[in-house]
Amino acid sequence: MIATLQCLVIDCPRPRELAAFYRKVLGGEVDKRDPRWSTDETWSTLHTPDGRVLAFQQAPDLRPPAWPDPSRPQQYHLDLGVADLDAAEAAVLAAGATLLDAGDPGRSWRVYADPVGHPFCLVRE
């Protein structure tokens, strides 16, 4: 092993707002004190209940992905495990997500965009 993953950093126009969105989806604490980072209007963090950290870095001129258009690829995406796809979908839509692809009935995953346009999937566990 060469390194350990500290966090996944996501570019966005308003870091604290996107951190709050992912807190609604994943739980946890926004901008928890951590000696690895200082938070301000350009950098926000989310410490999830399972110990993982997402970080949000200000990118005012972000051109969000246009999934599935390859001319503006998704750049990254998160697969988020859920027990009930329908209940999780209702919750992420209420939190500010947009449904991108519901798929065929019975498919075990669906594709959404966060409020900035980054795709993520809800996947039935």
Q: Looking at the domain assignment, is residue 85 inside a domain?
A: yes
Q: For residues 13 and 54, state if they share a domain.
A: yes
Residue 2 has pLDDT above 80, yes or no: no
Mean of all residue pLDDT scores within the chain: 92
Instruction: Report the CATH number at residue 104.
Output: 3.10.180.10
Q: For residues 47 and 82, state if they share a domain.
A: no
Contact 82, 88 (CB under 8 A): yes
Q: Looking at the domain assignment, is residue 1 inside a domain?
A: no
pLDDT at 25: 96
Residue 36 has pLDDT above 90, yes or no: no
Q: For residues 54 and 15, state if they share a domain.
A: yes
Domain hosting 50: range is: 8-58
- In the chain, pLDDT over 90 holds for what percent of residues? 66
pLDDT at 98: 97
pLDDT per position as a tens digit, 71-115:
888 777 888 999 999 999 999 999 999 999 998 988 898 999 999
Q: Looking at the domain assignment, is residue 71 inside a domain?
A: no
**What's the CA gap between 121 and 115, in Å, rounded?**
14
pLDDT at 96: 96
User: What are residue 87's phi and psi, to 5 degrees?
Assistant: -65, -40
Q: Looking at the domain assignment, is residue 14 inside a domain?
A: yes
Q: For residues 48 and 12, state if they share a domain.
A: yes
Q: Looking at the domain assignment, is residue 114 inside a domain?
A: yes
Predicted structure pTM score = 0.83
Number of domains in the chain: 2
Q: For residues 12 and 53, state if they share a domain.
A: yes
Q: Looking at the domain assignment, is residue 2 inside a domain?
A: no
Q: Which of 77, 79, 78, 85 is nearest to 124 (CA)?
A: 85
